[in-house]
Amino acid sequence: MSSKGSAFDAKADANRGLRVGVVGAGVMGSNHARVLAGLPGVTLVGIVDPLPEHRARAISLVGCRAFADLDELFAEGVDAVTIAAPTHLHHEIALACITRNIHILVEKPVASTVEEGQDIVNAARSAGVTLMVGHVERFNPAVAAIKQAISGEDILSIGITRVGPFPPRMSNVGVVIDLAVHDIDLIRWFTESDIVEVQPQLSSAVAEREDIALLQFRTASGVLAHINTNWLTPFKARSVTVATRGKYVMGDLLTRQVTECFGFKPDGSYSMRHLPVGHDEPLRAELIAFLDAVRTGNLPAVSGDEGVASLEIAIRCLEQPAKPAASAARKGPRRVVG
């Protein structure tokens, strides 16, 4: 089947082979193409990029065909496309695919604005095509182990650290849109609840956009969460802690070690154990999940609505005016009436 077929036909056969294309031959798109080229039941039709040197790099890295524009890819016939072009182009490229009944996985963040993200969601829904958002961290086996460990627990608080050096190829976004959006998605996913309050502290120490962010949240279910992210740490670190009424779970997303403390006793003693963690490559697991959703017509693992909700919170963090300390001081100490 190709892009000329209907989304309904696409759901008819859960085992059929799929013709898949990739848009954007940069860092992420090249990884998508590498993984797709090795998946059973997938024909990697090619990768699209306007830059000849990026096309040449993809051809030599992956051994696939490369096209200068989307129409050349469409002409070959594709069932599904993964979109790893710069974020400001997601909207235009996603709509071009949806119009042709092509299922899409859109890299995170889903779009540059909530309105554009919502537009993609609405268009995919009315066309009946699968739309998944590339929040790849959900497919990190350490994250999956944490999610399993806290399942059914009464979650109290979550702390996430995602820090590292300034990336050499950063475009026009800061740490909130580039990094914290991963963790906003994790907080929403862990708690299965919406974020209802945000308290951001942002600073631009070296970069033009914010390169330090300390973000605090409260979910509708009452969980307190914070994200510490920056581009000022000389090494990469990614860690998650979750406190529940019955457990304290700690995960290192890079070494993939996940440990839980449990069995708290009144004398302060407790038990501790390392949890089993899988070995899957997160991007491979994500792309398999996307293609399964395309084949079966089931809801994808990360829906467009979830992608938009996380983007909305990230943008709210950027829009929230910081409270100047001086104004609090001017008001003087809070009076206790009595």
Q: Which residues make up the interface to ligand NAD (CB under 6 A)?
A: 23-29, 48-51, 54, 84-87, 89, 107-108, 134, 136, 169
Instruction: Decide whether 155 or 309 has the Cβ nearer to ligand NAD.
Output: 309
Q: Closest separation between CB of residue 220 and ligand NAD, Å?
A: 26
Is there a contact between 223 and 154 (Cβ–Cβ < 8 Å)? no
Instruction: Decide whether 108 or 247 has the Cβ nearer to ligand NAD.
Output: 108
Is there a contact between 93 and 69 (Cβ–Cβ < 8 Å)? no
Is there a contact between 112 and 91 (Cβ–Cβ < 8 Å)? yes
Q: Closest separation between CB of residue 84 and ligand NAD, Å?
A: 5
CA-CA-CA-CA torsion sign (288, 293, 298, 300): positive
Instruction: Decide whether 12 or 27 has the Cβ nearer to ligand NAD.
Output: 27
Q: Closest separation between CB of residue 289 and ligand NAD, Å?
A: 14
Compute CA distances 222 → 1, 192, 219, 225, whole Å: 47, 11, 5, 10
C-alpha span between 161 and 227 (Å, rounded): 6
β-bridge pairing 155-165 and 131-134: unpaired
Element (H, E) at 133: strand 131-134
Which residues, in sequence order, are bridge partners of residue 132?
105, 303
Instruction: Decide whether 202 or 314 has the Cβ nearer to ligand NAD.
Output: 314
Q: Closest separation between CB of residue 72 and ligand NAD, Å?
A: 11
CA max distance for the chain: 77
| Amino acid identity, position 172 | N
Instruction: Decide whether 74 or 155 has the Cβ nearer to ligand NAD.
Output: 74
If we measure between CA atoms, which residue out of 145, 314, 167 comes closest to residue 240?
145
Q: Closest separation between CB of residue 303 and ligand NAD, Å?
A: 16
| Amino acid identity, position 276 | P
Q: Closest separation between CB of residue 54 and ligand NAD, Å?
A: 4
Q: In a 10 Å sphere around its CB, with 0-12 CB exposed, 13-18 middle and 19+ buried, how is residue 262 labelled?
A: middle
Which residues, in sequence order, are bridge partners of residue 131?
104
Instruction: Decide whether 86 or 159 has the Cβ nearer to ligand NAD.
Output: 86
| Position closest to ligand NAD via CB | 26
Q: Where are the alpha helices (DSSP H) in the chain?
A: 7-10, 27-37, 52-62, 70-76, 90-99, 114-127, 141-150, 175, 181-191, 282-296, 304-319, 325-330
Q: Closest separation between CB of residue 251 and ligand NAD, Å?
A: 17
Instruction: Decide whether 146 or 302 has the Cβ nearer to ligand NAD.
Output: 302
Q: Closest separation between CB of residue 136 and ligand NAD, Å?
A: 4
Instruction: Decide whether 87 or 101 has the Cβ nearer to ligand NAD.
Output: 87
